[in-house]
Amino acid sequence: MKTISPASSPEDDLPEDNLPEDDLPEDDLKDAKKMEETLNEPKRKKTAEELRSHRWLGVSDLRSFSHRSRAKQMGYGREDYAGKPVIAIINTWSDLTTCHSHFRERAEEVKRGVWQAGGFPLEIPAMPVNETFMKPSPMMYRNLLAMEVEELLRCQPIDGVVLMGGCDKTTPGLLMGAISINLPTIYLTAGPMLRGNWNGQILGSGSDVWKYWAEKCAGNITDTEWNEMEDGIARSPGHCMTMGTASTMTSIAETLGFTLPGASSIPAVDANHSRMAASCGRRIVEAVWEDLKPSDILTMKSFENAITADMAIGGSTNAIIHLVAIAGRVGIKLDLKKFDEISQRTPMIANIRPSGQFLMEDFYYAGGLRALLWQIRELLNLDCITVNGKAIGENIADAKIHHPDVIRSLENPVAPQGGTAILYGNLAPNGAVIKPTAAESRLLQHTGPAVVFKNYNDMAARIDDENLVVDENSVIVLQNAGPLGGPGMPEWGMLPIPKKLLKKGIRDMVRISDARMSGTAYGACVLHVSPESYIGGPLAFVRDGDLIELDVPGRKLHLHVTDAELAKRRAAWVEPERHYRRGFGALFSQHVTQADEGCDFDFLLSGAETPEPEIH
Give pLDDT tens digits for 154-177. 999 999 999 999 999 999 999 999
Helix (H) or strand (E) holding 421: strand 421-425
Res. 14 pLDDT band, cuts 50 70 90: very low
Bridge partners (DSSP) of residue 449 are: 547
Query: What per-residue confidence (pLDDT) applies to 5?
Result: 33
Contact yes or no for 432/527 (Cβ under 8 A):
yes
DSSP 452: E
What pLDDT was estimated at residue 607?
Answer: 84
Residue 470: pLDDT band (50, 70, 90) is very high
43: pLDDT confidence band, cut at 50, 70 and 90?
Answer: confident
SS3 at position 216: helix
Of the candidates 42, 58, 289, the residue with the CA atom closest to the CA atom of residue 159: 289
What's the 3-state SS for 38-100?
Answer: HHHCCCCCCCHHHCCCHHHHCCCCHHHHHHHHHHHHCCCCHHHHCCCCEEEEEECCCCCCHHH
Strands (E) in 464-539, as ranges, are 475-478, 510-513, 525-526
CA 156, CA 298: separation in Å to the nearest integer?
25
How many C-alpha atoms does 39 have within 13 Å on its Cβ side? Answer: 16
**What is the C-alpha to C-alpha distance for residues 401 and 273, in angstroms, rounded to an integer?**
20
Rounded distance between C-alpha atoms, residue 207 and residue 70, angstroms: 50
pLDDT at position 608 is 81
**Chain mean pLDDT for the chain:** 93
Closest CA to 478 of 502, 461, 503, 501: 461
Residue 109 pLDDT grade (very low, low, confident, very high; cuts 50, 70, 90): very high
Please state, in angstroms and rounded to a whole number, the distance separating the CA atoms of residues 198 and 38. 47
Lowest mean pLDDT among 117-121, 211-215, 439-443, 530-534: 211-215
H/E segment holding residue 393: helix 392-395
550 touches 447 (CB < 8 A)? yes
Confidence check: pLDDT of 595 > 70: yes
Query: Of 502, 501, 510, 355, nearest to 423 (Cα)?
Result: 510
How many H-runs (helices) and E-runs (strands) does the chain carry?
22, 14
Q: What percentage of the chain reaches a pLDDT higher than 70?
A: 93
- Reported as a single tens digit per residue, the pLDDT across 485-523 is 999 999 999 999 999 999 999 999 999 999 999 999 999
From CA 307, how far away is CA 203, in angstroms rounded? 28
Could you read off the pLDDT of 202-246 as tens digits, one per residue?
999 999 998 999 999 999 999 999 999 999 999 999 999 999 999
CB 100 within 8 A of CB 190: yes
User: Facing residues of 187 across strands?
Assistant: 163
How many residues are there in the chain? 616
Distances (CA, A) of 123 to 39, 153, 207, 404: 22, 12, 35, 41
For residue range 82-101, what is the model confidence (pLDDT) as tens digits? 999 999 999 999 999 999 99
Query: Which class for 576: exposed (0-12), middle (13-18), buried (19 or more C-beta within 10 A)?
Result: middle
Percent helix, strand, coil in the chain, to 5, is 40, 15, 45
pLDDT at 13: 34
Identify the band that residue 9 occupies on the pLDDT scale cut at 50, 70 and 90: very low
Longest Cα–Cα distance of the chain, Å, equals 94
Domains of the chain: 48-194+239-395 (3.40.50.2300), 196-235 (no CATH), 421-572 (3.50.30.80)
Averaged pLDDT, 118-145 = 96
Cβ atoms within 10 Å, residue 405: 14
For residues 353 and 242, the answer to whether their CB atoms sit within 8 Å is yes
User: How far is 110 from 163, CA to CA, in rounded Å?
Assistant: 10
Dist. CA 554–CA 92, nearest whole Å? 42
3 state SS of 258: coil
How confident is the model over 545-582, as pLDDT tens digits?
Answer: 999 999 999 999 999 999 999 999 999 999 999 999 99
Look at residue 58 and tell me whether its pLDDT is greater than 70. yes
Residue 361 has pLDDT above 60, yes or no: yes
Burial level of 323, CB count in 10 A (0-12/13-18/19+)?
buried
**Residue 395 CB-half CA count within 13 A:** 28
Q: Report the pLDDT value the prediction gives residue 12, as an integer from 0 to 100.
A: 34
Confidence of residue 465 (pLDDT cuts 50, 70, 90): very high
Tens-digit pLDDT profile for residues 239-267:
999 999 999 999 999 999 999 999 999 99
Cβ atoms of 479 and 455 within 8 Å: the answer is yes
- Residue 593: name the closest of 450, 471, 479, 489 by CA: 489
Among 190, 340, 362, smallest CA distance to 263 is for 190
**What does 119-180 look like in DSSP terms, one character per residue?**
-EEEEEE-----TTT-SS-GGGGHHHHHHHHHHHHHTTT-SEEEEEE-STTHHHHHHHHHHH
CB atoms within 10 A of CB 612: 11
244, 252, 309 from 249: Cα distances, Å: 9, 5, 10
| 11: confidence class by pLDDT, cuts 50, 70, 90 | very low
Count Cα atoms within 13 angstroms, Cβ side, for 532: 31
- Beta strands 475-478 and 510-513 are parallel
